[in-house]
Chain A
């Protein structure tokens, strides 16, 4: 009898081995990575580095406000400092979990606010190796998730989660994420292309507690096929700063308030 029970348990092992489902891991990871706090503010320094080593700088202030819990609606406001030809340009996104985002761009030279059409799943964010989706997060239900294994990465216990897109709407066939068991931040992500070859690698290079929220303050996305990489530094990160709803409007796209963008 006891023997049968063991056999039964072993048979169930693949399903019962982890105390948490892959979906739950990714939900917690999304909450930790993209939904921390009521709102968030950071000065973002991006360095786009070519294979040959030449660098381009993108510097912006990113403001984010949550509407509802993790996985819910969000609004983003970005103000660009660099490069010089996009100085004072602002960009606003209303992000919805189950439908396409709304996006607006303000072009200061002609004082014009315009909606822009862009698919966030494949579009590069300001020419970097990050897509819009990498910056603002991908919907959990867009992928089928499974926990492949647990292993240590850089001394941290991690779940290794495989996420396979349900639709062919992205340029990769699957993604592996090393999610920290403690704080649920992704410490590493590997994107495999349609030929199942490793194409892009994300690494969280520095994690700091900001107002008690563990925050990735330095990250890199490397394109292994082109050799191009993007290093991102979050400086002056802050949570629960009290962003007003009215900030996310045409009025302030045209005249971004100093107190928020500095």
Chain B
């Protein structure tokens, strides 16, 4: 539990998933403590309900990812090496349900044992509405590893170092209210405590840093107060056979942006999370013998609407099209194309200091996913790839997964990065190629 107060603060540069070498810090957050307190009061309350139906499941797993291109910056040879156990406790007595998902793990790269609350919430369900309070994972949008309206926290380090995909999503600490009148469904989310994305750890990953000589670095989180409470709303329904959603978000960029104290003579870099609103929509439905997905969003960068402040990203419009189809038995192919358009580009160009790389006005990214299941769907061969047609960089992820039995599976895969610029999203990760192994006993 204490571990939740302990956060690794390895932040990205203004560009991408670059990282800083800042030391870790302990922090106690009063609002977060209140939420936990309430949560545990609820827990005690619900555990006192006689005859609640309780189920316990979980797994133990080993997860190792070894460098194949080069040793880590700190000399280590593993991006990830851990043994982990997870317990999922589900107790329900209608209309309440309590769910706790807790991990305990030993991390060999840090030589530390830790406990982590992955999810922990209380559900209350009525006929036409429901409520979920606590730590919960929320996934929005129709992209496959491309997120426009999924504005919730992610762990990119987990993704790049060959951990099971579920670890790419981080929970939020907040409240979700669902309302289900006849004409549409609503999800309303309030997040009082800001949670940033996790990017790569500078001790393990090589990543672009425009000012490597500046060692004095700090991070400024949005203050926890009513004004800064993040709000998100999704309204969805079926329209002509398409699952249609509209989205709204008011909060912050989860990627940290660099704020040097003096751009001409930088002695300190402060990372901050600028204010952001997102307005978006998505459609997903059957078309052309497959599934067609469309998603768009307008990123309103509220602290730099003019596009003149180089420490804050400009507003953007993003659009994604995806198509998925089964070509033969147990073989599915999925393709996606993302376009991001930067508004006020000339102001951005004018104000971007020399020495800092410049983003393109239009960023484009294509993905392909191939999946073949074999041997009664116990063997899965998959291949996923990002390729940026504007930056020229790529990431490849082939994987083989086999279910040895109903309880044991193992996966072997690789993450390969390259090309592009030394600061582009995947190009900067060029020296971080790794092969990974996951094995899990599930019960």
Q: Taking beta carbons and an 8 Å cutoff, which residues of A are in contact with B?
A: 48, 56-57, 82-85, 87, 100, 102, 109-112, 114-119, 122-124, 126-128, 171, 228, 246, 249-251, 255, 258-259
Contact = CB atoms under 8 A, between A and B. Distances in A.
Interface stretch (B210-218, B247-255, B359-367, B401-409): B401-409
Interface stretch (B134-142, B268-276, B415-423): B134-142
B378 A56 contact: yes
A123 B125 contact: no
B138 A250 contact: no
Contacts of B330: 123-124
A87 B407 contact: no
Interface string B43-59: 00000000001000101
Given A255-B125, A258-B92, A117 B326 contact: yes
Contacts of A110: 137, 139, 165-166, 168-169
Given A84-B442, A110-B139, A128-B376, A117 B324 contact: yes
A115 B376 contact: no
What are the nearest 7 A-B pairs in CB distance?
A: A127-B377, A83-B406, A84-B442, A109-B166, A127-B376, A112-B139, A117-B291
B397 interface: no
Given A56-B405, A127-B378, A251-B185, 10 more contacts: A56-B376, A84-B442, A87-B57, A100-B289, A102-B286, A111-B138, A115-B285, A117-B332, A128-B376, A255-B97
| Contact count band on B | 35 or more
A259 B92 CA distance: 12
Interface in B139-168: 139, 142, 165-166, 168
Contacts of B443: 84
B328 interface: yes
Q: Which of A83, A126, A251 has the most chain B CB within a 10 Å cutoff?
A: A251
B180 interface: yes
13 contacts: A56-B378, A57-B406, A84-B57, A85-B409, A102-B241, A109-B165, A110-B137, A111-B136, A115-B285, A128-B376, A250-B236, A255-B97, A255-B130
A102 B440 CA distance: 32
Contact of B407 (A83, A112, A115, A250): A83
Nearest to B379: A127
Interface in B104-140: 123, 125, 130, 136-139
A82 B405 CA distance: 12
A251 B378 contact: no
Contact of A123 (B289, B326, B409): B326
Contacts of B376: 48, 56, 124, 127-128, 228
